[in-house]
Every structure is written in C-alpha cells, then in structure tokens.
Amino acid sequence: MCGIIGYTGDKEAYNILLEGLERLEYRGYDSAGIASIHNNTIQHHKKKGRVANLKLTVLPGKTGIAHTRWATHGKPEDKNAHPFVDETEEFAIVHNGIVENYLELKEELRNSGVFFSSDTDSEVIVHLIAKNYTGNLQEAVLKILPRLIGAYAFCVLKKDSNEIIGARNGSPLIIGLGKKENFLTSDVSAIIEHTHKVIYVNDFELVRITPFSVEVCDFNGTQKPLDIKEVNWNLEQAQKQGYKHFMLKEIYEQQQVFLDSLKVPVKIEKSFSRITIVACGTAYYAGLIGKYVIERIAKIPVNLEIASEFRYKEPLINKDDLVIAISQSGETADTLAAVRLAKQNGARTLGIINVINSTISREVDEVIYTRAGLETGVASTKAFMAQLVILYKLGFFLAGKEIDLTSLTEKITQALSLNEEIKQLAQQYYHYPNFLYIGRNLNYPLALEGALKLKEISYIHAEAYPAGELKHGPISLVSEEIPTIAICLQDSIYEKTLSNIQEIKARNGKVIALATEGDKQIKQIVDDIIYIPKVEEIFYPLIAIIPLPLFAYHVADIKDCDVDKPRNLAKSVTVE
C-alpha cells in the first residue's frame, strides 16, 4: 500500500518526485524518502512521518526514485523508511508490497556477510541485486525475481546511470511517457501534471526507462510491445476547490457522480445461475446492498464474500456462476486474488471498478466502470455512491425491467443541504468514545458503512448490528454513555425498527434517528433526529448514505483529526 515514483529526464528530479509523493500520500504516510543520482553517487534523504518532512532538504540530480510508506514490516522509523541502499551505496530501491520469504533471504544474506540497516522485508531486494550484479542492472534484477515470493512492485537505480528498472508482481506499476523524460509510479495521479500518456505494467513484467527510451519485457527477458494509453484526468480533479478537506468535497460531488453513473451502460449476458460478490470494506457494504437489490428485483441468488476470506475457504464456485468483484482502485490485493481463484474454477467474472486499466479491470472477463472520478480522501464516499448506482442498474437489467432514477437527483440535493444541521449534531456528540449503529434489511449495510466511516476518520469505536440482533447480546452495551444511531425509515419494517429503538430507550440509551421527512411518531421517542426525503423503499440507500459520512466527517473535523489521511489507513490496499 506504499506509493512509489521514479523520474529520469532533463529536469532536476527532486521537486518532481516530492510533488508526486504528495499526491501519493493517500497510499501511506508513515514515512517518506527520496534518492537521486548526482556525480555518480546516490544521495538519499528519508524521514519518519509525512512527505512535508522532506521539504527542508533538496538533493541534486536528474534521475531519482521516491517512496511514501504504509508500514507492514518494521515500525514507522527513519531507518525503516525507503529508499534502501546496499552497503556500497551503488544501488537504491523503493518497494511496494510484501516479500513473504524475506526472513529466509535475510538469513542467507547475513550469513554471506551482509549488514542490514532496517527491520523491513524490502531491504533484502537491494542486497540481492548487489550480490547478483555483473555489469547489467536489468540482468541482475531478472536473476533475483524468481527468489522473491509475495506481491511487489519495485524500482531500482544504479549510481552511475540514468536508467531505472522496475518490476511488478501483484502491486501496481505504471510508466509515464514524456518528452526527454519518463516516469514510473504506483498511481497516475502522481504524474498527471507532466504527462497523460501511460503504459500499465502487467504482472510478471520488467520495465527499463531512460530519458529517451522505454522497454518492457517479461520475467524471462522476452521483449513485449508497448501498449500506450491516454489518461483523461486533469490536475484540477485532485484539488480541493475551496473545501476544507477532500472528503467533504467528495461528499458533495455525490450528486454529480449519481448523474454520471446513470449514464453508464449496464448489459451483460445472463448465462449464469448464481452470483457471488467479492469485495472489501466499503465496497463490501455496497455489495451487501447489491445483494438485497438483485435478489429482490431479479430473483437471482446472490452470495456475498469478504474477499480476504474467499480465497482461503475453498469456495464452491463453478462455470455456471458469475463472480462480481467490486473495487474502487481496481488494485485491491484480496479482491484481485479472489478474481483469479474464481477464474481458476471456471467462473465468469465481472468487475465494478472506478480506475480504468487497473489490474482487476484488465483481468476480469467483463468490466463496468463507475464514474466517480479521482477520489483522494482515504475514506471512500462518492465511489460508494457510484457502486450503488451500478448495482441498482444491474439488478433491474437482470430482471428485464426499466429503471429511471433521475427523480432522485433533487432528493440527493435535499440530503446534502442537511450539512449545517448535521454539523451542529456532531457538536453535541463528538465527545462520546463509543457508538452503536442499527438498521434492518437495506438499512443494515448503511449502518455498517456509517459505523466504518466514524471509526476510520474520527477514531471513535463504533459497532453496527442488524436492529433485531440487539436483544441477542449487544443490548448489554446500551447506556447513557453509548449513543445509538438508528436508521429507521418509513418502509416495510419501520414498526420493527421502532420497537428496537424503544428497547434502547427503556434502558436509558441515547438515540439519534435517521428518519423519513414528516415522521412525527419517531420524533416523540428519540433524542435527536435527521430527516431525509421520502422515496420508494428500495431506493432509500441512495439518499440515506449522504448524512452518515457527513456526521462522521464533522465529528472528525471537530476533533481535529486528519480527515483525508486517517492514521494507519491507505486508500488502495495492495498488500494482503
């Protein structure tokens, strides 16, 4: 989940690399570092903490590599920050991923006299390259690749050369093509200011860039053709446009994302008997809503699997199944592994993906691209909205029914207008250390997502339950010190959820209700209330999902948390 960028060209590399790291920082921000070549030496600077810590030092050189880290092996400390150099400081590497057999390799290298300066798995790569170098850097890298077990993308440079070698197996790596300059990066956003022409590197491919050339080969050294793509993003999409945080900006962008997603064509061949959805985190909760919608509308059985568990449970998948993978980044390691397992078992695969030409989108049999655009905040909001719209459209398509959601646009606007009201509510409740979230049926996934957002960005412990499960254990937690956010909309199970709220109130619990506009009955029971517009029952998630992240956002902002870059998290989870 780390971010890497490399540059070689006719400009000074340091500022280009630094700016790229700032755009990659959503991928990890435990530490950061840069290495560059100057006068046939490798100069490097790395620090624990944010990329901003690198700004006080400038390294000369027109070829360099850089890294922002999300720690897996080794604590966030200066010594564990990338880049890593070998003992003679002839080579430097940056690495994203995990070398699973690093302890075995480390022991072997130590026995040969190598001294390690860090606690990381990544450092073994640079020492292996140094041991295998006989005059050609590309050949040295090709020699060590069979020895690395795990997922990785890494870049390496040599002190007396302007070439950068990169290799990919399981973690993203992208080539950026410029004039008298070329780039390597984990994410297009890091280089979009400099070029819109990219090559998406596939697994088991090695790349070599210089200021004037780009080469791609497989791990056997066989040259491959260059598949150049044009990226349509612009730099403005990555700016806050006057909002205090990217997350708030992206919450407000949900209305446009909703409209854009309505235009996405959703048509697939109905040659399957069962659907399995695989996803992680927020995408998993979107999939849970998708399960309810598809089963209710299309009457097709849907299994929902947490991708990180799917690959280890010997799933009963066969050629008559459709496996749907949902991922904003298209690089989620567990979801990618689930797709590969499904394909091995003969299943047809469909991706619901936001990032064009991402790894999952290239490996599935069919892909539907959401139109959320660039999402910078680590806590996903507008991507969730886009995923929901696609899942609704898919459910109605499979049922052979028409769907027109445009009438919901005004309702979304109304929900967004609750911002100031929700901010005031956050002022009342931000000091509580624990929350419960409850909901039934379609509202249960919303409770899960609401609790996740509060946990992610405010660091408040929050648990979500199906409302009917309260009496089976969790109700023991109810007290005046643990508020409950109850999603109780005027739908077919309204009275049931209302009864669960009564159970909480009977035990002196505080309740904030997310309710339907005009509902006077619930107002007499709960402590506080957020009203959303009335819509047809099945479409409530498309409206109700707006107030929940707004509440989490304002609580986190009042607590002065780093909303866009919450601790310990990264936007794109590219390690297991």
Residue 570 has pLDDT above 80, yes or no: no
What would the pLDDT profile of 143-158 be if each residue is shown by its tens digit? 999 999 988 999 999 9
pLDDT at 241: 67
Q: Other C-beta atoms within 10 Å of 40: how many?
A: 10
The CA R_g of the chain, rounded to the nearest whole Å, is 25
Q: Give 409 or 375, the one with higher predicted confidence.
A: 409
Average pLDDT for residues 133-144, to the nearest whole number?
97
What pLDDT band is residue 52 in, cutting at 50, 70 and 90?
Answer: confident
Average pLDDT for residues 300-307, to the nearest whole number?
94
Say how far apart CA 520 and CA 523 lie, in whole Å: 5
Q: Give the distance from CA 351 to its chain's centroid.
A: 15
What pLDDT band is residue 172 in, cutting at 50, 70 and 90?
Answer: confident
pLDDT at 314: 79
Sheet holding 63-69: strands in order across?
A: 41-48, 31-38, 63-69, 3-9, 181-185, 174-177, 197-200, 228-230
Active site amino acids: 2, 571
Residue 82 has pLDDT above 80, yes or no: yes
DSSP lists the bridge partners of residue 99 as 150
Residue 353 has pLDDT above 60, yes or no: yes
pLDDT at 473: 85
pLDDT at 575: 46
Cβ–Cβ under 8 Å, residues 478 and 395 = no
pLDDT at 478: 86
Average pLDDT for residues 52-63, to the nearest whole number?
92
- Average the pLDDT over each of 61-65, 341-345, 402-406 and give the range with the smallest value: 402-406
Q: Give 436 or 565, the one with higher predicted confidence.
A: 436
Q: Where are the beta strands (DSSP E) in 100-213?
A: 150-158, 164-169, 174-177, 181-185, 197-200, 205-209
Percentage of the chain surpassing pLDDT 90?
74
Say how far apart CA 438 and CA 469 lie, in whole Å: 9
Instruction: Report the mean per-residue pLDDT for the chain.
Output: 92
Average pLDDT for residues 185-200, to the nearest whole number?
91
Average pLDDT for residues 273-297, to the nearest whole number?
95
| Peptide bond connecting 83 to the previous residue in cis, omega within 30 degrees of 0 | yes
Residue 472 is encoded by which pair of tokens?
Answer: 């089976």
Average pLDDT for residues 261-266, to the nearest whole number?
90
Cβ–Cβ under 8 Å, residues 127 and 120 = no
- Average the pLDDT over each of 343-357, 366-380, 429-443 and give the range with the smallest value: 366-380
Most confident segment among 4-18, 231-245, 466-480: 4-18
Residue 238 has pLDDT above 80, yes or no: no
Residue 29 has pLDDT above 70, yes or no: yes
For 479, what's the count of Cα atoms within 13 Å in the CB-facing half-sphere? 6
What does each C-alpha distance from 64 to 34, 95, 125, 135, 389 come to in angstroms? 7, 14, 17, 20, 42
Q: Give the distance from CA 58 to its chain's centroid.
A: 31
Complete domains list, the chain, with CATH: 3-236 (3.60.20.10), 239-403 (3.40.50.10490), 406-564 (3.40.50.10490)
pLDDT at 1: 60
pLDDT at 3: 87
- Average the pLDDT over each of 84-93, 140-149, 242-251, 433-442 and give the range with the smallest value: 242-251
Residue 28 has pLDDT above 80, yes or no: no
Residue 38 has pLDDT above 60, yes or no: yes
Average pLDDT for residues 513-517, to the nearest whole number?
96
pLDDT at 477: 85
Cβ–Cβ under 8 Å, residues 508 and 502 = no
Residue 489 is encoded by which pair of tokens?
Answer: 């909309």
pLDDT at 572: 53
pLDDT at 165: 98
